[in-house]
Structure 1
């Protein structure tokens, strides 16, 4: 189909976003998330995902903890955690050892390659975080993080209240 825009004119702007969306916190959170994912892939690591980074960070902080407690620490459900840990293990960034006392528990440890990948990604993430929060001074950044943390805690609590 031929372009029906007359030569020398700009295409019509897209539809306006309805206030019912722009006023909705979930809509704004989704916009932030979409933008963050694109920036992460371009500026931090195109193959290491945010959840994988979170798992590596948690494992570095507490090596040898079991997979289930790590899932809680990084806000992943246990099936997603198992998949993330398997992918990291396949890439050689993480090793999982079966616990001696309970063969169902998997204990997680970083490999040297995982340590290097985490260190490299952390440096690029620090630069991205600075860009993301550039509109805010130091004090406002701290307040924004406190507000976001409080909101996330509240939303998670609401989810737990409504769980069967």
Structure 2
């Protein structure tokens, strides 16, 4: 007669209760990132995009708002010079202006002397969309700067502008 030993059954160890120690703490950015100014600027910009989208961007994105605001301040100026004024490269500006034109918010007129040169003008619908977004944009600015006293806001904006100007110059030096 054959040996009749019962088969061994293997059981898996039960899963530990609760999350694993590694899963219980979210990873954090290493110091090499958190001490880098570009990393912090990108974080600020990502956060700004998120709050803009929630509080202002039902009609216009931040870049669209900037373009329409600048066109209103300088109607009939060429697309390239306006791109520089709002810190966009010319190809991004061309695409953005085309999309605004397709939505009926902006009119691009070709000059008689140079068929490639586009002069930008707000349409009545563009003016309406801009007016609608302006109040929400100003309220967002106030909320973003709420922890700073008026003098502190001025200093902060001056410092941010100074950094942006300096970093733009650095970008052309390399």
- In structure 2, stretches of 5+ residues that fail to align are 1-14
Q: 1:136 aligned to 131, 148, 171, which one?
A: 148
Q: 1:85 aligned to 63, 82, 97, which one?
A: 97
Q: How does 1:7-26 map to 2 (within 5 A)?
A: 12-26=24-38
Question: Which one has a bigger Cα radius of gyration?
Answer: 2
Q: 1:132 and 1:35 mapped to 2: Cα distance?
A: 11
Matched residue of 1:107: which SS? strand
Q: 1:150 aligned to 162, 167, 173, which one?
A: 162
Q: Deviations over 1:102-151 (max 9, x none)?
A: 11111100001100111111110100011111111100000000000000
Matched residue of 1:16: which SS? coil
Matched residue of 1:160: which SS? helix
* Conserved 8 A contact 1:41-1:47: no
- In structure 1, stretches of 5+ residues that fail to align are none
Q: 1:83 and 1:15 mapped to 2: Cα distance?
A: 38
Q: 2:47 and 2:154 mapped to 1: Cα distance?
A: 21
The TM-score normalised by the length of structure 1 is: 0.91
CA RMSD of aligned residues (A): 1.6
Q: How does 1:28-67 map to 2 (within 5 A)?
A: 28-67=40-79
Q: 1:112 and 1:58 mapped to 2: Cα distance?
A: 15
The TM-score normalised by the length of structure 2 is: 0.86
* Conserved 8 A contact 1:93-1:111: yes
- The total of aligned residue pairs comes to 157
Q: 2:138 aligned to 126, 131, 141, which one?
A: 126
Q: 2:89 and 2:57 mapped to 1: Cα distance?
A: 23
